[in-house]
Amino acid sequence: MAVLVLLDISQVAFEGVSVAMLLPIFELFISGGDPANLENPSIFWRVLNEGFAYLGLDVSLRTMSIVTFSAIVMRQLFKYASTVFRARLRNNYIRDAQMAIIRSVFGANISYFDRGSTGDLINDLVNESAHAVGIIFILIASLNTFFLLAVYGGLLTSLSWQLTAMSAGIFVFVSLPMRGLIRKSRESGENRLVASRGLTSFLVERLRLVRLLRLSGSEDRETEQVRNLFTAIADHTTTIQTLRARIPLFIEPIVILLLLGFIVTSQDMFGLKPAVALIFVGMMVRLVPVLQQLAVTYQGAMATLPSVRKISGRVESLATAKEVDAGTVSFTGLERGIRFEDVFFAYESGTVPALEAINLEIPKGKFTALVGPSGAGKSTLIDLLPRLRRVSSGQIWFDGHRLEDFTLESLRNGVAFVPQSPDVFNVTASSHIRYGRPEATDAEMAEAARLAGATAFIAQLPQGYDTLVGEDAGLLSGGQRQRLDLARALLCQCSVLILDEPTSGLDADSVEVFQETLLRIREETGTTIILIAHGFSSVVSADQIVVLEGGRVSTIGTHEELMKTDNWYSGAFRKQHRAALAADAG
């Protein structure tokens, strides 16, 4: 940043030299090229004589012209260097700001995303961060403009302080009505921010639900809404640019009026010689774009302030939401099992606990199924294990250590997770399986695919493991996506494997294959398997079934044990069984 300021100062300095040299050149030219013939020379001559004497240069039209031209060339070189450096620095600052935000996003606790909008976050990351960084360079540009004003102000004052003071007073008076433009610019900036945020949120949501959009036949209606959002942003941006274009309406006529008045009165009222008057007029003309740039810069800063406030708020909220990692113990795997001890959990926006008085043991190397009605707290409970959420009270023990004792990195490296709807990027089958362990060998990848039951269908893909599976694995069936994602989880060789309703939406054959896969994993690897399920075909072979109701553990047992008593599981299982029989009969 200091380099940029230095470049700007150097540019202004050489411009000041080139402008200051013009009056002595004109005076020397009028005197016939001989300094001895000068009558009542301007104040610039004393500085010029001292400077040329210091540099060992003779005072002549040729030398002065060369010095002036050299100063102009140096000004342009510094201007070019400043422009290039400014662009590079600005883009680097934007990148660094965006990376700082994304690092904070990745480090925020999961509850931060419960209450936020993905579209709003993307808008802040992509658009508002760039606007916010821009204000830094607006301020630097203002500094450069003030340097230039100071140089020209000094030169003009040396020619006629009375005329300079009068001109400055007129400019200040005329700038007062511009306050309305600045206020409208700030309001338009706020409106543009709201419209941009709305557009990004709308697009993220609609693109995520494009299947619903197509099947509902709502393409034209949604397209019209997008058009309206784009139009709103365009209108607000146009308003800002229109306000910017009005600035010359105030400045240029006043400057022209000043110059005309000056030409008429300069000699009679201020006693200026023609050469001095000519240079004064030239400087005033050069000041017009400088003053306009100052006004435009201020207007741009006001239009950008809403983005600065938005990004400041985002950074502050992300800092508050940063995950706490006070653990010091490295988790290397389960030896005995997991124990919940009087665990409570409540969401920030919740009025009642999502989990209440949970006392539960999950043995190492066993298959534990979590079942219960919707809203019973099953997903919340498994979110506690990798510390995506922190218990409100109570303790969770991994063997003899509290969950909080482990470092987040080691804990999450030891707990694998397969969601209900696999999150698959548009990458090759090999890249997805290796997502958690990019350094894994081909043999390790093939073994994970075998355990997950994915080897056969991967071999049938056009390029095998090197086949791009499409966005959200659109080229694969639901069962294939689940097995591919299970292979990813298994490649991590974690001690604990969590599956959140993995058979939801699968047909009966796929469910049976998946159940056989889980049993094979349990027998061959000794992995502790925790499964959330709504359908019961995949849990009948579990070593224990935990029934959650209303955030509490209502009963625990094997399938056979639970079917012998009257409880939620036995009732729900019989209903599901009768429904399956009726469907087969139909």
CATH classification of 420-493, choosing from 3.40.50.1980, 3.40.1360.10, 3.40.309.10, 3.40.50.300?
3.40.50.300
Gap between the Cα atoms of 164 and 366, Å rounded? 89
Are 551 and 378 spatial neighbours (Cβ–Cβ below 8 Å)?
no
Gap between the Cα atoms of 112 and 134, Å rounded? 27
Q: What is the pTM of this model?
A: 0.68
Per-residue pLDDT at 123: 78
Backbone angles phi, psi at 359, to 5 degrees: -125, 115
Decide: helix, strand or coil at residue 1.
coil
Residues 6+ apart with CB under 8 A from 474: none
Gap between the Cα atoms of 430 and 434, Å rounded? 6
CATH topology of domain 334-414+497-586: Rossmann fold (3.40.50)
The segment(s) of the chain belonging to CATH 3.40.50.300 are 334-414+497-586, 420-493
Amino acid at site 153: G
- CA distances to 112, 135, 150, 321, 545 from 99, rounded to whole Å, are 18, 18, 38, 17, 44
What is the SS3 string spanning 222-273?
Answer: HHHHHHHHHHHHHHHHHHHHHHHHCHHHHHHHHHHHHHHHHHHHHHHHHCCC
Nearest to 3 by CA among 92, 73, 67: 92
Are 454 and 513 spatial neighbours (Cβ–Cβ below 8 Å)?
no
Per-residue pLDDT at 557: 93
Long-range CB contact pairs, 357-361, < 8 A, 24+ = 357/552, 358/394, 358/551, 358/552, 358/553, 359/553, 360/546, 360/553, 360/556, 361/337
Per-residue pLDDT at 338: 94
Gap between the Cα atoms of 228 and 195, Å rounded? 10
283 burial level (CB within 10 Å; 0-12, 13-18, 19+): buried
How many other C-beta atoms are found inside a 10 Å radius of the C-beta of residue 403?
A: 21
Strands 367-371 and 544-549: parallel
Per-residue pLDDT at 260: 64
First-to-final CA distance of the chain? 76
Q: What is the DSSP letter of 551?
A: T
CATH classification of 2-319, choosing from 3.40.630.10, 3.40.50.11260, 3.30.565.10, 1.20.1560.10?
1.20.1560.10
Are 393 and 569 spatial neighbours (Cβ–Cβ below 8 Å)?
no
Per-residue pLDDT at 410: 92
CA 183, 186, 190, 191: dihedral to nearest 10 degrees?
60
Residues 6+ apart with CB under 8 A from 317: 112
Per-residue pLDDT of the chain (586 residues; tens, 9 = 90+): 678 778 878 877 887 777 777 777 776 676 666 666 666 666 667 777 777 777 787 777 788 888 888 888 888 898 888 888 888 888 888 888 888 888 888 888 888 777 777 777 777 877 778 878 777 777 777 777 777 777 777 777 776 676 677 667 766 666 666 666 667 777 777 777 777 777 777 777 777 666 666 666 777 877 888 888 888 888 878 877 777 666 666 666 766 666 666 666 655 555 566 666 666 666 666 666 776 677 767 767 777 777 788 888 888 888 888 888 888 999 988 989 999 999 999 987 767 889 999 999 999 999 999 999 988 999 899 999 999 889 999 999 999 899 999 999 899 889 998 887 777 778 889 998 998 888 999 999 999 998 888 898 899 988 999 988 877 677 788 788 888 888 998 898 888 999 887 766 666 777 777 778 888 888 888 889 999 987 777 788 889 999 999 999 999 999 999 998 889 988 888 887 776 555 555 5
Amino acid at site 408: L
What is the SS3 string spanning 286-342?
Answer: HHHHHHHHHHHHHHHHHHHHHHHHHHHHHHHHHHHCECCCCCCECCCCCCCEEEEEE
Are 327 and 414 spatial neighbours (Cβ–Cβ below 8 Å)?
no
Count, residues in the chain: 586
Q: What is the DSSP letter of 463?
A: T
Residues 6+ apart with CB under 8 A from 41: 24, 27
The segment(s) of the chain belonging to CATH 1.20.1560.10 are 2-319
Give the angle 417-418-423 at the CA atoms, nearest 5°: 115
